[in-house]
Amino acid sequence: MPKIHVLPEHVANQIAAGEVVERPAAVIKELVENSLDAGARRIEIEFREGGRSLLRVEDDGAGMSAEDAVLALERHATSKIAQAADLDRLTTFGFRGEALPSIASVSRFLLRTRPPESETGTEILVNGGKVVHVRECGKPVGTSIEVAHLFHPVPARRKFLKSDATESAHITQCVRLYALAHPRVAFTLIDDGRIVFRSPKCPSLAERVGEIFGRQLAEPLLPIDVGEPGLRLHGLIGRPGISRSNRHETITFVNGRPVDSRALNFSLAEGYQESIPKGRYPLAFVFFECDPAAVDVNVHPAKREVRFRSENTVRSFVVRSVLRTLRALGGGAAPAPAAVSAFALAESGAKFGEWAAPPALERRGAALAPASPPPPATSSPGSLPAAAPAWKLLGQAHGTYSVFETPAGLVLLDRKAAGERIWFERLQDQFRSGAVPSQRLLLPVPVELDPIASALLRDRREFLQAHGFEIGEFGGRFFRIQAVPAWMEPSEAEAFLRDLLGAMRDGQLGEKNLDLAREQLARLAAARAARPDALPGEAQIRRLLAELFATRSPLASPAGRPTFIEIPHHELARRFEKG
């Protein structure tokens, strides 16, 4: 029989550390939260080598007495709750009393702290969970914690750390979130001795967003502030028409805590449904406030997720708030870009019954591989031509569609999707041949980026250069677009560059696989380059059809959407109830 024994304290702490501190950014999160809980007005965060060799958080908050400092390093020691019922009315970030002992168990941990009522400070050094010394020290009021050699005592965990650049990106993002949530606290972030940002106390959220994300991004944001009994949504949101290809700038807080909430993400997207294209994300820096008892933050040890007791109430409130704010702009939301309606129709088409999509489209992914041979022409519905089809043009509908009579029935062509397919293959050919025509801009476009995007841009500048861009650097996070690919509208240069950097942050356009990166670039570029005329002449439409059917995969856009759909005779007959 194996003998049961209670784990030594430092082993139990190391196990808890696995949950609370999975990576350096998680340590920063815990320490910054403690500083905020302690009422700090100024917080300085420094790290080296992605946090691997050093993490330091220093604040001017309430500090701790010698006695409290010793206690703070014990498990489940907290000044923030006393009984389970307190969990229902949390107003502080911390409450588990786990962070400090966990971190101290997997690092070399130096705590120095002094409360205002004491003349001297206390210094405690802990190594791998074992206290090395406790002694008096000179120290201004506040607390400073240095975490060195993170995960040294647990080499297995160290292996899971990603590159320094990745870990430092996580730390930066984490500090940004807390800085946004607390504009009135001064934040400084230092990476390997370099200041990433230094933001003094700001009078407003808008100021803080400008400090951290750049004025260019902050300027076109709209204030939102909607309250209903027990609920409030306030902050800044993007104007209609401004969108991102990823969610990095859809930032949400619940009762001051940065969270990733499906309910909030969904409802924000829903609120923007008429204002930005499908599949894109709104800009939002928003704070949702509700009764702390209506939200459960105790779902995950690192507290990233929250659960609402009544998710539907939250969702409908957020959608209403966004719609009300956007509509108050007057003139309603901007018209939906062509791609939205095309996709919407393709989807609603399915609701009508068996509208025949060409058979190859049933496997959506099939058309994605550009190198695949053209789909075989089939005889049912029987009108998939090998060359440009001689369909009879009936007219134009809803901006992006052309309607045709065909031998097998009726065809609706989505000129935007068709244009994307044509551009996708054209750009891929250019990329492969290495001859990418570029145009020099008369007026270079200035771009201010956040630290992560700046680093990505520096890393991938050569790749972009090889594909038609020329971007000059003006120190720190200031850049200038000097030349763009020939296909591009210069006015779209900045938005497109931001999309590319967003895609890179999501792991696309990576350095490892050049072919894949080019394909991803071509797909993003094609979506921009295809700009169908609202009122094309017949000759133009004929050329479009000829070019579409000369591509390797004419049936689908590079994103896998149909380029056209066909309603066959039998479907018409069925719908008109003819026998």
Contact 351, 376 (CB under 8 A): no
Residue number with CB closer to ligand ADP (30 or 167): 30
Measured at the CA of 208, the angle between CA 291 and CA 285, to 5 degrees, comes to 45
Kindly state the smallest distance separating residue 37's Cβ from Mg ion, in Å: 7
Residue 122 interacts with ligand ADP (CB under 6 A): yes or no: no
Whole-angstrom distance, CA of residue 436 vs CA of residue 502? 22
Whole-angstrom distance, CA of residue 85 vs CA of residue 78? 15
Q: Where are the beta strands (DSSP E) in 192-313?
A: 194-199, 221-228, 231-238, 250-254, 257-259, 284-290, 295-296, 307-308
Which range in 30-38, 234-242, 487-495, 551-559 contacts ligand ADP by CB under 6 A? Answer: 30-38
Residue 430 interacts with ligand ADP (CB under 6 A): yes or no: no
Residue number with CB closer to ligand ADP (96 or 498): 96
Among 17, 44, 66, 78, binds ligand ADP (CB under 6 A): 78
Residue number with CB closer to ligand ADP (77 or 445): 77
Kindly state the smallest distance separating residue 90's Cβ from Mg ion, in Å: 12
Q: Convert residues 41-60 into a mask of x (bound to ligand ADP by CB under 6 A) and - (unbound).
A: ------------------x-
Tokens 């969904």, residue located = 266
Question: Token pair for residue 477?
Answer: 């996070």
Kindly state the smallest distance separating residue 131's Cβ from ligand ADP, in Å: 15
Q: Is 577 helix (H, G, I), strand (E, B) or coil?
A: coil
Kindly state the smallest distance separating residue 79's Cβ from ligand ADP, in Å: 3
Kindly state the smallest distance separating residue 156's Cβ from ligand ADP, in Å: 23
| Spatial CA neighbour of 47 closest among 149, 135, 116 | 149
Residue number with CB closer to Mg ion (98 or 499): 98
Whole-angstrom distance, CA of residue 519 vs CA of residue 517? 5
80 binds, among ligand ADP, Mg ion, none (CB under 5 to 8 A by kind): ligand ADP
DSSP 222-255: EEEEEEETTEEEEEEEEPTT--BSSSTTEEEEET
Instruction: Give Dmax over CA atoms of the chain in angstroms.
Output: 97
Q: Is 256 helix (H, G, I), strand (E, B) or coil?
A: coil
Question: Token pair for residue 243?
Answer: 């969108």
Whole-angstrom distance, CA of residue 239 vs CA of residue 151? 44
Binding residues for Mg ion, per CB under 5 A? 34, 94, 99
Residue number with CB closer to Mg ion (83 or 491): 83
φ and ψ at residue 136, rounded to 5 degrees: -75, 150
CA gyration radius, the chain? 29
Residue number with CB closer to ligand ADP (115 or 235): 115
Residue 34 interacts with ligand ADP (CB under 6 A): yes or no: yes
Kindly state the smallest distance separating residue 201's Cβ from ligand ADP, in Å: 18
Whole-angstrom distance, CA of residue 513 vs CA of residue 190? 33
Residue number with CB closer to Mg ion (61 or 94): 94
Q: Which residue is nearest to Mg ion (CB)?
A: 94
Which range in 31-39, 257-265, 340-348, 461-469 contacts ligand ADP by CB under 6 A? Answer: 31-39
Kindly state the smallest distance separating residue 68's Cβ from ligand ADP, in Å: 6
210 binds, among Mg ion, ligand ADP, none (CB under 5 to 8 A by kind): none
Q: Convert residues 79-118 into a mask of x (bound to ligand ADP by CB under 6 A) and - (unbound).
A: xx-------------xxxxxxx------------------
79 binds, among ligand ADP, Mg ion, none (CB under 5 to 8 A by kind): ligand ADP
Kindly state the smallest distance separating residue 38's Cβ from ligand ADP, in Å: 3
Cis amide linkage into residue 381, ω under 30° from 0: yes
Residue 143 interacts with ligand ADP (CB under 6 A): yes or no: yes
Residue number with CB closer to ligand ADP (67 or 577): 67
Buried/exposed 542-572: b ≥16 CB within 10 Å, e otherwise: eebbebbbebbbbbbbbbbbbbbbbbbeebe
Q: How many residues line the site for ligand ADP (CB under 6 A)?
A: 22
Query: Which residues of the chain form contacts with ligand ADP (CB under 6 A)?
Result: 30, 34-35, 38, 59, 61-64, 72, 77-80, 94-100, 143
